[in-house]
Each structure stands twice: as structure tokens, then as C-alpha cells.
Amino acid sequence: MDAEQSYQVRLEIFEGPLDLLLFLIRKKKIDIQDIPIALITREYLDYLSRKDRINLDREAEFLLMAALLIYIKSQMLLPREQLLEPEEDPRKELADRLMDYQTIKAVVQVLREKEDEQMQVWRRSALTSPLPDEDLDLIEVSLFDLAESFFTMMKRRQGEELKVIKGKEVTMAEKMNEIINVLKERHYLDFLEYLGEQETLEEALVAFFCLLELIKARLVIAIQEQLFHTIKVWLRKEAHVKATHG
Amino acid sequence: MAEKLKEIIESMIFISVEPLTPEKMKEVLQDVPEQDIAQAVQDLVAAYAASEGAIRIIQTAGGYVFSTKPEFDPYVRRLLQIERKSRLSHQALETLSAIAYHQPVTLPEISAIRGCDSTYALHSLLEKKLIKIVGRKEAPGRPLLYRTTDKFLVYFGLNSLEDLPKEEELKKLMEEENA
């Protein structure tokens, strides 16, 4: 990998001006305690001129840093009657902040490794709880998610040889009752599994529209427990009561 | 009862979705001395660790919970129909690190440490319940103070905040990185 390329790749993860500054310092293998402002500024300008696209937010943040650097430089250049105490070195504040930030970067690395480890182990909490509760990261899915899910399934089933059996007509009302009954029995149903269970394409379509209708009527709720999980349909609690007593 | 203690604890951990704490065990096993419970837990964890099976007991957020071994990850995912778990963004992870090491901490402090605005990352961490508000700082504007949660510990498989690398360890890591 040539230098130019690695520069580009690393930039993807830059977040703030400190990040960039740290990166420039590291690239030049400079001691943080001794920040050569001219060098870093030149390096930065070089980098800007090489880029054909600029992230304004990030560059604006660097301006602040550049101003700070110039301030430090001017403080260093000004003749003084008394020599500065080491504590008063204008570079100190920036150096301290950079040290702090560098520590955080190291922590990020450690945590990322731990996260990767944890990605591969599973606990029972990954399973569904009997009813969705507040503590779960529940994502109520939009119509588009449902439609996308549905069409994915339809595509999968396209290859199947479909036999059209005449005579079995399902009305929306019948299907809706059926869904409510299934939900009362099973508490929830897997969106795709349920549609996949339907005997004919027509019935699947009717079931799909019924589900949309029930969601709209706020009788059921479609939920994804986590991103990339399957979509589940639950009976809303208040609807449950209504359906039982009503 | 004492001779079945290990098995009793095993059954309790088995049925627990969230990490089972020693305090909870003690609540159930009222007349069993604390050190007997601790010993039984230790034996149980060791027994699972030594076995060839797919399951082990891990200690996280101060409690014990069953987990699968990493090698079975692909099959579990296939069973649960999960393509992949989503990771935290770099921004979120950096913000979380700043909070973990400076807690309790305010938003302006986090932003200063990171050198950029952290409002968005902070909100997404709050939503994920990896951090929580613990009060206000007695400073101008009385800004809110944030801390990491138990869920943070579980998410990273840590038992307590003590498990986070100490400053010396981090220094070593940074030196390696810079070398």
C-alpha cells in the first residue's frame, strides 16, 4: 500500500481536529511535547490541496486548531523579559489535551476488540422475551420495511410452481379474524414465516394487506427487536383486551 | 441441600436471562453461608470451562450467565436469522471511551476531550442505554452528568469498571502503537 492510499483510508475514521493533528504528529513521528506548528500546518495545507473533495465540517474544526497553533507560535516568538516557567509554556495546554485524547484512542482500540469478542458469543438474552418490554431495543418497522420483506419473500417463492386452485376465496375480514386469533394463541407471529405459510399467492397477498390494515388500525404492532432480526407482529395490549371482551 | 449446591446454582443461572448476581443467589439460598455459595459458583464456572461442551459460564456486570463459545457463532446466527450484529460507530465508541474514563462527566467536557461536538453520539448512546444521566454538575449552567450503565459492562463482556485497562497498560499500548 503506498503512502497516499493509506492516508486516504485512515481519513475515513477521522472525527475531530485533534484526531487529524494527532495523525499528522504521528506520521512525522514527533514528540507531542514539541509540536512544530509550521510543519504541521504545511502538511495540512498539502493534504487539502491534494483532496478534490472537502468535508467542510472537519476542515472548519481544523481551522480552530490552526488558530490555536498560530497563537502558540506567536507566543513562542515574542521576546520576553523573563524566561517562561515550564508550567507557562503555551504548548502545554495543547500537549495535555493531546495526551488525554491519545489515551481515549487507546481505550477505543481496547473496547473495539472486546466488542468483536462479544459479537461472537451468544446469551439467552438474545432470544425473544415473551412480550416486548421497555428495556429492549425495539424498532417499530415502517411500511417500507414490511413491503421490502414481503417482496423479498415473493421473489424467493417465484421459482415455485404455483398451482392455482379456484374456489377458495378469502375475504379481508376472514383473514383479519384469522390473524387476530393466531396472535391470541401464539402471542406473536413471524411476519415472513406467516406469509410464507399461506397456501396461495393470493392468500399471501390478502394476508399482507390485512396485516397492513391491522397495523394502521393500531390493533397490532410490527416490531424488529434488533436491526437485521426478523420482523415480528404482536397484538397490541389494549387490542388484546378489546378482542377478548369485545 | 449443601451437596447439591452447585447444581442448584447451575439451574438458577440456566433460567436467568440477565446475569445472576451473588446477591440474588443469596436471596434464594438464605441459610447457606456466603462463602459456600462463592465456592460452589467458582467450582461450577471451572467445571464448565474444563468441559468440551459448547456452553460456558461468564462473569459479567457482577453476575453469572451462560454463553455459547465463539466457534458456534455462525450456527447461532443462522438459527436466529441474524446476518450480523451491528457494531458501534467509531464516533459512538470514542464518546463512550471518554465517558468510561472520566465519569461522571458532562457533555461539554466530553466534547473538549474529543475536540469535536459529541451531542449526537451521546444521544445515540443514551438511546442504546449504554450510558445514563446521574445528576447535574454544580457548575455554571448545571450541566447533566453522565455515567456508563451495567448494560455497557455486559455489552463489552466486562465484570466491572475495574476491568478496563489501567493508565499504565494504556501507555504501553500507545507506545506499541507509536513504535
- Chain B positions touching A106 (Cβ under 8 A) are 165, 170, 173-174, 177
**Mean model confidence pLDDT for chain A:** 69
Its ipTM equals: 0.82
Residue in chain A closest to B71 (alpha carbons) equals A120
Which residue range(s) make up the domain with A19? Answer: 3-119
Q: Are B57 and B47 in contact (CB under 8 A)?
A: no
- Count how many residues are written for chain B: 179
Question: Where is the domain boundary, B23, B44, B78?
Answer: B78
Residues B30 and B101 in one domain: no
Residue B40 has pLDDT above 90, yes or no: yes
CATH number where B50 lies = 1.10.10.10
Which residue range(s) make up the domain with B112? Answer: 90-178
Candidates B144, B149, B119; CA nearest to B131 is B149
Residues B113 and B166 in one domain: yes
Question: Where is the domain boundary, A119, A152, A187?
Answer: A119
Tell me the nearest-neighbour CA distance from B72 into chain A, angstroms: 8
Q: Which residues contact A96 (CB under 8 A, 6 or more apart)?
A: none
Residue B20: CA count within 13 A, CB half-sphere: 26
As a whole number of angstroms, the longest Cα–Cα distance in chain A is 103
Mean pLDDT of A80-88: 66
Determine, yes or no, domain membership for B84.
no
Residue B95 has pLDDT above 80, yes or no: yes
Among residues 148-177 of chain A, which lie with CB inside 8 Å of chain B?
Answer: none
Distance of CA A54 to the CA centre of its chain: 23
Lowest mean pLDDT among A146-160, A228-242, B81-95: A228-242
Q: Are B149 and B129 in contact (CB under 8 A)?
A: yes
Residue A42: CA count within 13 A, CB half-sphere: 5
What pLDDT, in 10s, does the model give residues A195-206?
A: 777 777 778 888
What pLDDT, in 10s, does the model give residues A41-66?
A: 777 777 777 766 666 666 666 677 77
Residue A215 to residue B141: CA distance in whole angstroms: 44
What is the band of A241 on the pLDDT scale with cuts at 50, 70, 90?
very low
Q: Are A179 and A214 in contact (CB under 8 A)?
A: yes
Q: What is the total count of domains within chain B?
A: 2
- Chain B positions touching A15 (Cβ under 8 A) are 90-91, 94, 114, 116
Residue in chain B closest to A112 (alpha carbons) equals B93
Residues A180 and A148 in one domain: yes
Residues A83 and A192 in one domain: no
Residue B165 has pLDDT above 60, yes or no: yes
Determine, yes or no, domain membership for B83.
no
Q: Which of B84, B97, B177 sits opposite A107 (nearest CB)?
A: B97
